[in-house]
Every structure is written in structure tokens, then in C-alpha cells.
Amino acid sequence: MAYETLIVEIEDYTCLIRLNRPDALNALNAQLMTELAQAVTAADRNDKVRCIVITGNEKAFAAGADVKEMASKGFTEVFFDNLFGPEAEAISRARTPIIAAVSGYCLGGGCELAMICDFILAADSAKFGQPEINLGICAGMGGTQRLTRFVGKSKSMDMHLTGRFMDAAEAERAGLVSRVFPAKSLMEETLKVAAKIAEKSMITAMIVKEAVNRAQETTLAEGLLFERRMFHASFATEDQKEGMAAFLEKRQPQFRDR
């Protein structure tokens, strides 16, 4: 499918989705979010895709929702449009692991999009922020909820109330980002991480994704029970037999997603 605001490539079981509105620092407009939801949904259904990477360019992952598109709207319009709601949900429903590879500005809706992904790899140039307060609005695509779960109440309040940016080192210390790479090697390193995930059993990867996401959404007791049942269920797969046999035979496993 041809997209106007994205560049999508599938290679070696990884679907690389580049946000492509460089003149607007990849600001998220309605067209980009619609196309992104379509691209992620298509990749999620494609059995040649075992990991999805969402990235931007060196200057920006995305500098937020498109202020030019939003500025003149009124309450009824944003309420009935349900701006970005269905698109964000479509991305968060994907079962395939999604990595956000972030260079440069990752602000507002851009930071929220990165947090919808399963984890964030950052360039040392990355700058994260929820500066919506400077525009007279609060975050609208999960920022107050997800950032708080990532970094805790104190730092989340600080980010949302002051609108300040946090650099990659602070984001890694705070737990927002899993790893930081030099900007010039971010994509090479990200594709290595994607390849590492792609070689696993897809069934197991999806189980892991569901189980970790449960930790954000339920009580510890319910989450532990869910994990234990998923662990039990994994013994119904051929990939469990193969994984353990390969370990005992001192060879690499050949997973077949069964």
C-alpha cells in the first residue's frame, strides 16, 4: 500500500515504519495517524513480519500532534472527531512487538506514540517532553497515564506541569527508555534488536507481550495468575519442546510458531 506520510519497508521479518513529514518535524496530523494505524494493522497481520519498528528522522521522532491542524477546532469538533483515539487504540492492539526508535524531538503526541510502542530505544540526541500545557491543553493520547507509569508521579508531574524536555540520559535513568545509542548507530542497533526478537517463537513473543502489558493494567495477584497460566499454556506448543530440546542438545532452536 502507498502512503503519503510514511515510508514503510519490510526486510528480514522486520517492518520499518518511518514517519515522514520532515518539514513539520513529523507532527502527527489526521492523515499520518490514519496511515500509521493502517500500516501497523497490516504489518500485524503479515506473517512475514515478526517485529515492527516505528521511527522518525534524525531531527524528530515527532514533535507532537499537528498544532496547525488542531488550533481552530472547538470542543464539539474534537469531541465528535475523537481525535486520534481509534488510531492510538489500533496501534496498541497490535500483537506483534513494536519498538520505537527515537532520535531528536519526541514531544506531546510523539512521546505518547513512543510510549504506546512496547519499548523505546533512543539516540543520545533524543529529547522527550509533554509540553501541551504551553498550548493551554493537557495531553490527550495517554501522556498523563503512561508517562506516570513509566517514570512515577513526581517526574511525570514535573514534565507535564513545566513542559520541560528530558534528554536521553535522564529518560534512561527514569525508565522511559530501555537503551541509548549514539545517534549515528541508532537504526543499525535497533534493527539488530528487531532481528533478535524476530528469531524467537512468535507465539512466545506474543505471550510475553500480553503478560508484560497485564502488569500495567491489573493487580499483582491477577497479573501473577495470568503469567502462571500463560506459562502453563506455553507447554502446549511445539516451540516449547523445540526450545528446551535445542538447549539440551546445545544447538540453536528452530522455532515454527506452533
Chain positions contacting ligand DAK, by CB under 6 A: 24-25, 27, 63-68, 83-85, 105, 107-109, 131-132, 135, 140-141
**Residue 230, φ and ψ in degrees, nearest 5:** -65, -40
- Grouping H, G, I as helix, E, B as strand and the rest as coil, residue 100 is strand
Give catalytic status of residue 65 as yes or no: yes
Active site residue 170: no
Q: How far is the CB of 109 from ligand DAK (least distance, A)?
A: 3
Considering the candidates 114, 132, 194, 243, report the single residue annotated as catalytic: 132
Nearer to ligand DAK, 150 or 165 (CB): 165
Residue 241 and residue 100: Cα distance in Å, rounded? 32
- Does the active-site annotation cover 112? yes
Given the residues 112, 143, 171, 243, the one annotated as active site: 112
Of 97 and 140, which has the nearer Cβ to ligand DAK? 140
Q: Which is nearer to ligand DAK, 97 or 131 (CB)?
A: 131
Closest CA to 3 of 31, 44, 41: 31
**Residue environment code for 71-95, b if the CB has 16+ CB neighbours within 10 A, otherwise e:** eeeeeeeeeeeebbeebbebbbebe
CB of 122: closest distance to ligand DAK in angstroms? 16
- Burial of 30 from C-beta contacts in 10 A (0-12 / 13-18 / 19+): middle
Q: How far is CA 117 from CA 59, 69, 121, in A?
A: 20, 24, 10
**Minimum distance, C-beta of residue 15 to ligand DAK, in the bound complex (Å):** 23
Minimum distance of ligand DAK from residue 135's CB (angstroms)? 6
Residue 227 annotated in active site: no
Q: How far is the CB of 167 from ligand DAK (least distance, A)?
A: 13
Catalytic residue among 37, 39, 43, 65: 65
DSSP symbol at 125: T
Question: 103 with 59: CB under 8 angstroms?
Answer: yes
| Matching residue, cell 488510531 | 87
In this structure, how many other beta carbons lie within 10 angstroms of the beta carbon of residue 218?
A: 13
> Please, which residue, 6 or 203, has the CB nearer to ligand DAK?
6
**Cell 517514570, residue?**
151
Nearer to ligand DAK, 22 or 175 (CB): 22
Q: How far apart are CA 17 and CA 11, in angstroms?
A: 11
Q: Which residues are catalytic?
A: 65, 109, 112, 132
